[in-house]
Amino acid sequence: MSQVAEDADASASVAAEAWRVLFRSGLAMAPFQIELGGEDLVAPRMHQDLVAVLRLVGGADLSIARLYEGHVNAIALVRRYGTATQLERLARDVADGSLAGVWGADDATGLWAEDIGGSWQLKGRKILASGAGFVTRPLVTARTDAGQVMLLPRLEAGERADVSGWTAQGMRSTATGSVDFSGMVLDAEQVLGSPGDFMRQPHFSGGAWRFCAVHLGAAERLVDLLREHLVSRGRDGDPYQQQRIAQCVAATTTASFWIADAARRLSDETADPIATVAFVNLTRMVTERAALDVLEAVHRGIGLAAFVRPHPVERIARDLSTYLRQPVPDLAMADAARAILASPRATASLWSTDEG
């Protein structure tokens, strides 16, 4: 998959071959229940399998991992809030080759849905939509007079998409762009759940552990590339380089413990949702710090070669630096701090699952 990633980056297009591999491997259907043809990958009992899959795909190709994480998130939301018919229809479309995704980001105006007597008329667009023109079963958020709703439009490949503005340094092959829904009319069956469900906690903020797992996979791949470089150049006996390796592995291992525990907590229906969200917000902070430390160490440890194409570190570092930019990191950290300050628990028992 890594060779495909290199070609897709050069052409700034979604790696269609990598998608075919994901479909053939069963990963595209995996989030659905077994009776719908999946592997139940987003079921609470499977949380460590999902960590492993996201980490693995992140290590192979961050752009594909971004698309896959959105696909998984969309299916998880339809499983949580959808009707049996909505879920079966989505499973049928994915089995036929459709890709799902979650498009939440808005421009200043946002996407509006107006009730026109049982149907919904759309006006506006989504921005920063990964897989624009490629994802045909997106889950999109829209504003209504009753609050924010989730919609399940169906698109044809290429329909309404504009990726001309996606000139980012990294994550080039995610086809991240805008999709204009103006004029589209949806029926009631294409409205998912109730107003406000999308941002319901702990899943809205808590689901952030998934992108952390993807980031971790890429950071671990960078550490492997540094190790290979040092050994193949006979530079592995140098104490400064050894210190870098030790610090990198300590950082990624720390992040892996946080991510595994964050996934476990979110899968535990009995856990305190405030503590779960705080824990995942800190997991974001820990994972971002670990990835930034790895990026610096790998650049300094390899040197100039790491900045020259087609060295794999050049592309992976560009992708990871870009993908690390996630929404409101300061707020996530501050929310966690506020929850900790408001807690009556001692620091040593902050994350204990015992009562009191």
Sheet holding 125-129, edge to edge: 125-129, 177-180, 161-162
Q: Which stretch binds ligand FAD (CB under 6 A): 24-32, 270-278, 299-307, 318-326?
A: 318-326
Q: Which stretch binds ligand FAD (CB under 6 A): 53-61, 143-151, 154-162, 169-177?
A: 169-177
The least distance separating ligand FAD from the CB of residue 218, rounded to whole angstroms, comes to 12
β-pairing, 119-123 vs 177-180, is: unpaired
Residue 179: CB minimum distance to ligand FAD, A: 10
6 closest CA partner among 324, 315, 323, 318:
315
CA 156, CA 147: separation in Å to the nearest integer?
28
130 touches 283 (CB < 8 A)? no
Between 14 and 30, name the residue whose CB sits nearer to ligand FAD.
Answer: 14
Report the C-alpha gap between 80 and 32 in whole angstroms. Answer: 11
Identity of the residue, 9 or 226, whose beta carbon is nearer to ligand FAD in the bound complex: 9
Residue pair 157/137 in contact by the 8 Å Cβ criterion: no
Smaller CB separation from ligand FAD, 171 or 313: 171
Cα of first residue to Cα of last residue in the chain, in angstroms, is 48
Show contacts with ligand FAD in window 111-150 (CB under 6 A). Answer: 128-130
Residue ranges of alpha helices (H) inside the chain are 2-11, 16-25, 47-60, 62-81, 84-95, 203-206, 209-232, 239-267, 273-302, 312-323, 329-342
Determine if 325 is a binding residue for ligand FAD (CB under 6 A).
Answer: yes
70 binds ligand FAD (CB under 6 A): yes
> DSSP letter string over 194-234?
-TT-TT-TTHHHHTTHHHHHHHHHHHHHHHHHHHHHHHHTT
Residue ranges in 3-22 that form contacts with ligand FAD under rule CB under 6 A: none
Contact 209, 266 (CB under 8 A): yes
Contact with ligand FAD (CB under 6 A) among 66, 71, 143, 284: 66
- The verdict on 283 binding ligand FAD (CB under 6 A) reads no
Site map 32..61 versus ligand FAD, x via CB under 6 A: ------------------------------
328 binds ligand FAD (CB under 6 A): yes
Distance, in Å, from the CA atom of 102 to the CA atom of 129, rounded to the nearest integer, reads 8
CB of 68 to ligand FAD, least distance (A): 12
Report, in Å, the least distance between residue 328 CB and ligand FAD: 4
Taking the complex as a whole, how short is the minimal distance between the CB of residue 161 and ligand FAD, in angstroms?
Answer: 12
Give the phi and the psi of residue 354 in degrees, each rounded to 5: -70, 155
Task: Quote the CA–CA distance of 177 and 253 in Å, as a whole number.
Answer: 34
Question: Closest by alpha carbon to 282, among 329, 324, 321, 343?
Answer: 329
Q: What are the tokens at 169?
A: 């340094």
Among 86, 136, 176, 190, binds ligand FAD (CB under 6 A): 176
How big is the chain by its Cα radius of gyration, in Å? 21
CB of 305 to ligand FAD, least distance (A): 26
Q: Does 326 bind ligand FAD (CB under 6 A)?
A: yes
**167 in contact with ligand FAD (CB under 6 A):** no
- Tell me which stretch binds ligand FAD (CB under 6 A): 21-29, 78-86, 101-109, 309-317: 101-109
Which of 329, 335, 340, 343 is close enough to bind ligand FAD by CB under 6 A?
329
Distance of CA 132 to the CA centre of its chain: 16
Q: Is 218 in the site for ligand FAD (CB under 6 A)?
A: no
Decide whether 174 or 283 has the Cβ nearer to ligand FAD: 174
Q: Is 330 a binder of ligand FAD (CB under 6 A)?
A: yes
Q: Of 104 and 133, which has the nearer Cβ to ligand FAD?
A: 104
Smaller CB separation from ligand FAD, 136 or 176: 176
Q: Can you give the binding site for ligand FAD, defined by CB under 6 A?
A: 66, 70, 101-105, 128-130, 171, 174, 176, 322-323, 325-330
